[in-house]
Amino acid sequence: GNSVTQMEGPVTLSEEAFLTINCTYTATGYPSLFWYVQYPGEGLQLLLKATKADDKGSNKGFEATYRKETTSFHLEKGSVQVSDSAVYFCALSDRVAGANNLFFGTGTRLTVIP
Amino acid sequence: NAGVTQTPKFQVLKTGQSMTLQCAQDMNHEYMSWYRQDPGMGLRLIHYSVGAGITDQGEVPNGYNVSRSTTEDFPLRLLSAAPSQTSVYFCASSYAGGGPPYEQYFGPGTRLTVT
């Protein structure tokens, strides 16, 4: 079946520190991979995505590379800001009969302190 | 565009009561879905739909019903609420069909407490 395992949190970093949030997956087919972000009191927003092996998704200074050989999609950012404080979810898409169903990891809460 | 809207934002129910969580989108998306978010468990898919008149079960469908009579609306019904249904519920929508996966747009969520 499909599943996503995500680094446990919470993660607390100082401003300008380097961020890595680990994500590995199990899938029956060839999934697409996503990182979503949830700011306090809001719904989820797509942060970045990758649709095939070796693709790199990037947005707002965040990056993640689809590694099929290690079934991983780790999220990185070189210098975090206080405004990056949020919960980050790794997810994969199971495209069944045109559906766009997502399987999520448990989420990692990031707090960035000035 | 309002995007994906959900009502109510908060709700408290007693065990055994019924209610409907509303979800609407104005982006003409074929695909709509409901997820529940529980601490330490991420989001789990309850039900989904790829178009009007078509619905299917997700990972955790028990205790919930859905219908899709229009493209815009996708209500989630709890027929007899249980404390285990205390959660935050998110509705999402996207285009459907073949090709690369389309971005899903999420509503702001409904926080439901069942006592």
Convert the pLDDT of each residue in B102-112 to its tens digit.
788 999 999 99
- CA-based radius of gyration for chain A: 14
The model's confidence at residue A41, banded by pLDDT at 50, 70 and 90, is confident
What separation, in Å, do the N-terminal and C-terminal C-alpha atoms of chain A show?
A: 41
Q: Which two tokens stand for residue B70?
A: 């229009």
Q: Coil, strand or helix: which one is B12?
A: strand
CB A67 within 8 A of CB A17: no
Shortest CA distance to B76 belongs to which of B45, B113, B42? B45
Q: Quote the pLDDT of residue B98.
A: 63
Can you list the residues of chain B whose pLDDT is less than 50?
Answer: none
> How far apart (Å, rounded) are the C-alpha atoms in residues B19 and B22?
10
Largest CA distance in chain B: 44
Name the least confident of A12-16, A73-77, B1-5.
Answer: B1-5
Shortest CA distance to B104 belongs to which of A92, A64, A71? A92
By C-alpha distance, the chain A residue nearest B50 is A99
Most B CBs within 10 Å: which of A5, A100, A103, as the mutation test of the B interface? A100
For the beta carbon of residue B87, count every other beta carbon within 10 angstroms: 22
All residues of chain B having their beta carbon less than 8 Å from the beta carbon of residue A51 are: 100-101
The model's confidence at residue A98, banded by pLDDT at 50, 70 and 90, is low
> How far apart (Å, rounded) are the C-alpha atoms in residues A85 and A12?
9
Inform me whether the pLDDT recorded for A97 exceeds 70.
no
Q: Which two tokens stand for residue B62?
A: 């028990």
**Which residues neighbour B50 within 8 Å (Cβ) at sequence distance 6 or greater?**
A97, A98, A99, B30, B31, B56, B96
Q: Quote the pLDDT of residue B12.
A: 97
Most B CBs within 10 Å: which of A42, A102, A104, as the mutation test of the B interface? A102
Asked whether the CA dihedral A39, B43, B41, A88 is positive or negative, the reply is negative
* B51: alpha, beta or left? (left if phi > 0; alpha if psi -120 to 50): left
The model's confidence at residue A90, banded by pLDDT at 50, 70 and 90, is very high
pLDDT above 70: percentage of residues in chain A:
96
For chain A, the average pLDDT equals 92
Kindly state the average pLDDT of the residues A88-114.
Answer: 87
